[in-house]
Amino acid sequence: MKKTFDGTEVEVVRGDITDQPDVEAVVNAANAELMPGGGVAGAIHRAAGPGLAEECRPLAPIRPGQAVITGGHRLPNRHVIHVLGPVYGQDRPEERLLADCYRNALRLAGERGISSLAFPAVSAGAFGYPLEEAARVAVRTVSEEAPRIGGIRRVRFVLFGERELEAFRRALEEVA
Ligand code: AR6
């Protein structure tokens, strides 16, 4: 499913964030130390190879809501943008910190001239953010912010499971 906001196409697909060769940057749902871990971070570091952790080391630790950028190493993407989502029930205010992840990732992309990027459902796995709410914050923030940043043509949400896909699809349907 796709929708266009002022020249920026926002799409929702089911898939694996490490298998998106047609976008310039993928976003990592990272941990503060920017180390491999589980979920998205584990998959990204496995696919990128050890050079990614090496490049990450001097950039860590990062704070909830913050975004940093590295190369893609062995991934098919030129860049990885690492964000630290809030741990639900612990890092507050959760909604603003989650929106900051998307906003700051888009800003970094804009500064680097990146025109296409893919996000996973940040905080919706190990960090426990309720899925429907996480999807609404993600879709609302991206649809508002991406068109304001010059040059971002395409933003893709890549969801691992059917339930995640449905939540993001609904959120995209509902956003004005
Ligand atoms: N591609 C796309 N989505 C994925 C993939 C994948 N390869 N793998 C998992 N997901 P999570 P968080 C989905 O836990 O909640 C890590 O251990 C997953 O089903 O990766 O921000 C880090 O080291 C869920 O919907 O990120 C951190 O400590 C979503 O991606 C911590 O988890 C996010 O799940 C970050 O937790």
Rounded to the nearest integer, the mean pLDDT of the chain is 98
CA nearest 164: which of 6, 14, 1?
14
Helices (H) and strands (E) in the chain, counts: 5, 7
Q: Ligand 1, atom 28: nearest CA belongs to which residue? A: 31
Pairwise CA distance, residues 121 & 136, whole Å: 11
CA nearest 5: which of 158, 167, 149?
149
Angle of the 162-174 helix axis to the 131-145 helix axis, nearest 10? 50
Q: Ligand 1, atom 7: nearest CA belongs to which residue? A: 16
Whole-prediction pTM value?
Answer: 0.98
Judged against a pLDDT cut of 90, whether residue 66 lies above it is answered with yes
Angle subtended at Cα 66 by Cα 62 and Cα 68, rounded to the nearest 5 degrees: 75
* pLDDT band, residue 91 (cuts 50/70/90): very high
Q: Ligand 1, atom 34: nearest CA belongs to which residue? A: 125
Mutate to test the pocket of ligand 1, among 16, 28, 40 (most ligand atoms within 8 A of CB): 40
Q: Ligand 1, atom 24: nearest CA belongs to which residue? A: 125
Across residues 12-26, what is the average pLDDT? Answer: 98
Judged against a pLDDT cut of 90, whether residue 89 lies above it is answered with yes
- Please report which helix (H) or strand (E) contains residue 82, including its range: strand 79-83
Query: Which phi and psi angles does 2 have, rounded to 5°?
Result: -140, 150
Judged against a pLDDT cut of 90, whether residue 150 lies above it is answered with no
Does 124 contact ligand 1 (Cβ within 6 A)? yes
Does 36 contact ligand 1 (Cβ within 6 A)? no
Please report the pLDDT score of residue 176 as a whole number: 85
Which atom of ligand 1 is the closest one to the Cα of 84? 21
